[in-house]
Amino acid sequence: MTGDVIPMPVPSSFNDVTQNKTIRDYVGWAWYETQFFIPTSWNADKQRIVLYFGSAHYHACVFLNGIWVVNHTGGHLPFQADVTNNVKFSVKNWLTVALNNTLTHHTIPQGKVIYKDNPEEYPEGFYVQSVNFDFFNYAGIHRSVILYTTPTVYIDDIIVVTKINGTTGIINYTVAVNSAQPSYISPSCYVEVFDMDDDLVAQEKKCQNVINVRNAKFWWPIGIHPQPGYLYTLKVTLLGGNIKDVYYQTVGIRTVEVTDRTFLINGKPFYFMGFGKHEDSNIRGRGVDLPLIVKDFNLIKWIGANSFRTSHYPYAEEIMDQADKQGIVVIDESPAVGLDAFDSVLLTKHLQVMTEMIQRDKNHPSVVMWSVANEPKSSEPEAKNYFKRVVDHTKKLDSSRPVTAALSGPYETDLAGKFMDVIMQNHYFGWYSDPGYTQVIYKQTISVFTKSYEKYKKPIMISEYGADTVVGLHMDPAFIFTEDYQTEYLMEHHKAFDFLRDKGFFIGELIWNFADFMTIQKINRVVGNKKGIFTRERQPKAAAKVLRCRYLHLANQS
């Protein structure tokens, strides 16, 4: 270890844990180092040893005992390296990670480094990182780092797709087997399905097959079934010679379909009620925070919501697991937020990020749609071919889920929506346009969604609407930034949503945002974005009660 070092927790963002402004606003390479021991039994058993990172933002280079082992680009998805030949037994191992959080027009999301080469006006070498989004560009090793072992012939992946036929649940599975040995006996698979009481309900042989579960309990979203989030466990055993590997994969049996007007889960129309969120909290930044995850799910249930969008990047696996278990529906969004220039280099990165996201999240029953982007400049001529390629790629990897994107430009000139199965739109009537005039909301919302539906002829939903609200600030008649304004703003929207719901093509409302969150420093953000229904500390604003009445009332009707 060389140079100055400071203690730095993992998982966490590095930005807010010190008293140092340079660290908070840091752009460039940061180095992490730690040491660990490995039990000698891992060597005696001839295990394959893997080093796994849940996520590290943004470019990561990993070294073990001074030898490079893996690079990864992109902040919100896992990566790993087989380190069997790099680890040492009985002595210390040194793990070193170099991280760079710089965003450019060829990263996803995009950003720009602006050098202010003007010695008369700026200190020498002054530069700033500008980004195409408002949330703070937190950086660090954000999720857990794990060392695990597998046998040398091992289960590499399991793909599960479910269907329903009457009361029978159909599980199509494929087990991918890999080998760290040059040649091995072709193994066979034995697959058992256990219900939530741990009773064996079905079994099959072969590494690729179809299992029928009779009188199955389906995975239902919360609010429309007394037992939401029902999960079976698929126990996959790999056998052959002295090979033995076992993996337990949870499975929710459910289907997702879209027509030109509706979104169906298990054949029943589903109306999205919920939020856009962020992974964001005090001190930890974007670092995974287990108590916060549990609290957020408790708040989601308290308010009666049934869904959220992982705006604007894939969330921690712990969050996805909770969504599965609690029957909360997820629109899984890629980190492609605010794309404004499209070329083949960016496209390659975007396809790669979709591959990694689908690879990680494909077996989550809670994930019902892939959102390929948020607010791209989709009227640019290059956007047409670009989004066709992104959607084709996504569907090739997973044909079982619809694809969407959160659009915000004028629908008249948008070139991306035609490739989507579902249209999401972000609108801020009465906030970014006509601030203070809640009376415009009803007409404008109805008008834009009706005309958009006429254009696309696809189910459509609002993926963002919201008003910045400083908790505790009141003024009546309502004035912007007060709790009274946020409340009135929501109620005007809800009237319009009810009108649109009656038309049959409007399939959901996701408010912006679940909670207040930290932003970059901007003159229209007073220490963060305050559009939360909850504060950053997860206390309800007045609007939370309005939303709770609405969601519980709508859930009672379904």
Taking Cα atoms as reference points, which of 524, 545, 531, 555 lies closest to residue 275?
531
Name residue 319's amino acid: I
Q: Which residue is it, tokens 């590997």?
A: 245
Alpha-carbon span 373 to 386, nearest angstrom: 12
From 329, 291, 285, select the one nearest 139 (Cα to Cα): 285
Beta strands in 430-498 (DSSP E): 460-464
Residue 318 within binding range of ligand GCB, rule CB under 6 A: no
> Residue 50: how many CA atoms within 13 Å on its side-chain side?
15
Q: How near is the Cβ of 128 to ligand GCB at its closest, in Å?
A: 20
Q: Name which of 296 and 398 has its Cβ closer to ligand GCB.
A: 296
Asked if 111 and 104 touch (Cβ cutoff 8 Å), the reply is yes
What mask, x for binding ligand GCB by CB under 6 A, covers residues 396 to 415?
------------x-------
Measured in whole angstroms, how far is the alpha carbon of residue 111 from the centre of its chain?
Answer: 20
Asked if 265 and 329 count as a contact pair (C-beta separation under 8 A), the reply is yes
CB of 379 to ligand GCB, least distance (A): 16
Residue (of 367, 356, 333) closest to 221 by Cα position = 367
Contact residue for ligand GCB among 14, 58, 133, 370 (CB under 6 A):
133
CB of 548 to ligand GCB, least distance (A): 22
Comparing CB distances to ligand GCB, the nearer of 398 and 464 is 464
Pairing of strands 403-407, 367-374: parallel
- For residues 132 and 394, which CB has a smaller minimum distance to ligand GCB in the complex? 132
Closer of 96 and 374 to ligand GCB (Cβ): 374
Which CB atom, from 14 or from 465, has the smaller least distance to ligand GCB?
465
Site for ligand GCB in 442-471 (CB under 6 A): 464
Rg of the chain over all Cα atoms, to the nearest angstrom:
24
- Under 8 Å between Cβ of 153 and 238: yes
Distance CA 54, CA 472 (A): 37
Q: Which of 134, 157, 192, 380 is close enough to bind ligand GCB by CB under 6 A?
A: 134
Nearer Cβ to ligand GCB, position 281 or 529? 529
**Site map (CB under 6 A) of ligand GCB, residues 509-538, x = contact:** ---x----------------x-x-------
Query: Whole-number minimum distance, CB 133 to ligand GCB, in Å?
Result: 6
- The catalytically annotated residue of 317, 375, 464, 492 is 375
As measured in angstroms, the least distance from the Cβ of 529 to ligand GCB is 5
H or E stretch at 249 = strand 243-251
Residues in binding contact with ligand GCB, number by CB under 6 A: 11
Whole-number minimum distance, CB 312 to ligand GCB, in Å?
A: 6
The nearest distance, CB 190 to ligand GCB, in angstroms, is 47
- Of the candidate residues 426, 452, 487, 535, the single one contacting ligand GCB (CB under 6 A): 426
Rounded to an integer, what distance in angstroms lies between the CA atom of residue 134 and that of residue 239? 51
* Closer CB to ligand GCB, 312 or 364, in the complex: 312
* Nearby residues of 332 by Cβ (< 8 Å), 6 or more positions away: 310, 314, 357, 361, 364, 367, 369, 370, 371
Question: What x-and-dash track marks residues 38-77 binding ligand GCB by CB under 6 A?
Answer: ----------------------------------------
Interface with ligand GCB in residues 352-391 (CB under 6 A): 374-375
Note if 375 is an active site residue.
yes
Tell me if residue 164 falls in helix, strand or coil.
Answer: strand
44 burial (CB, 10 Å; 0-12 / 13-18 / 19+) is exposed
Residues with catalytic roles: 375
Binding site for ligand GCB (CB under 6 A): 133-134, 312, 374-375, 408, 426, 464, 512, 529, 531
